[in-house]
Amino acid sequence: MRILICLLPLLALAKLSHAQTFAEQIEQYRITFKEDMISDERAPLQDEDLQHLRWYKPDSTYAVHALFLPVENAQPIDVPTSSGRVKSFQDVGVLLFNIQGTVCTLHVYQNMGLMQNPVYQDHLFLPFMDITNGEDTYGGGRYIDLLRSELSDGSMLLDFNKAYNPWCAYSDGYNCPVPPAENRLPVAIPVGEMMYAGPHKHRSN
């Protein structure tokens, strides 16, 4: 009994340390996100705009292991964008996962225009919507970037803490894919990037 009592504070400390480590990882992701944003000449935000970016608190329970079910003989599909134009994607697979007790699925895609570029052959695109859209998060949905190389034994880590806004959340003048109907979750995802708090910008196409 004495040994158990002594171990309890250590176990609590280890659990806290793990939580801090996860939070630090997400914080580093956000720092990199900001750096990439202001270094891209096409991006809508500049250094002075970054103060208006907002995120939920990191929550490791929204980083889940998802089963990857590949789509056989997938055909290209046209996905509408915020500007009314369309972009071509290939539906490459379905992620099956449990989030807060609800079983959900999300389709993952590859951009047809980038698939032939060796730099982007590993990249997967996951647009989604959830119950928070239009309230705490951007009404047009959010995105998550994934890599094929992250697949292991038919599954991959799906971390909603890394959900980010399309550029259309900050400015007009962009062609942001709208999440297809099959990627609209029936649950709230209260992690990742929130609604942009700065003034909406204007940009010509």
Tell me which H or E stretch contains 157.
strand 155-159
Judged on CB neighbours under 10 Å (0-12, 13-18, 19+), 170 is buried
Give the confidence band of 8 by pLDDT, cuts at 50, 70, 90: very low
Q: What is the pLDDT of residue 3?
A: 38
Residue in 198, 203, 200, 178 with CA at minimum distance from that of residue 49: 198
pTM: 0.88
- The answer to whether 159 and 62 are in contact (CB under 8 A) is yes
Classify the C-alpha dihedral 27-35-152-182 as positive or negative. Answer: positive
Using the predicted structure, report yes or no on whether residue 185 has a pLDDT greater than 50: yes
| 153 dihedral zone (left: phi>0; alpha: psi -120 to 50; beta) | left
- Would the pLDDT of 6 be above 80? no
Q: Report residue 6 as tokens.
A: 């002594």
58 in a domain, yes or no?
yes
How far apart CA 82 and CA 65 sit, in angstroms, is: 30
Within-domain flag for 19: no
Q: Is residue 145 part of a domain?
A: yes
Q: Is the pLDDT of residue 10 over 90?
A: no
Tokens encoding 194: 């929130």
pLDDT of residue 16: 45
What pLDDT was estimated at residue 99?
95
Per-residue pLDDT tens over the stretch 95-154: 999 999 999 999 999 999 888 888 888 999 999 999 999 999 999 999 999 999 999 999
Segments forming the whole domain that contains residue 117: 48-183
Q: 121: burial class by Cβ within 10 Å (0-12, 13-18, 19+)?
A: exposed
How high is the pLDDT of residue 117?
84
In a domain, 132, yes or no: yes
- Domain membership of residue 34 (yes or no) is no
Domain count, the chain: 1
Please check whether residue 54 lies inside any domain of the structure: yes
More confident residue, 1 or 163: 163
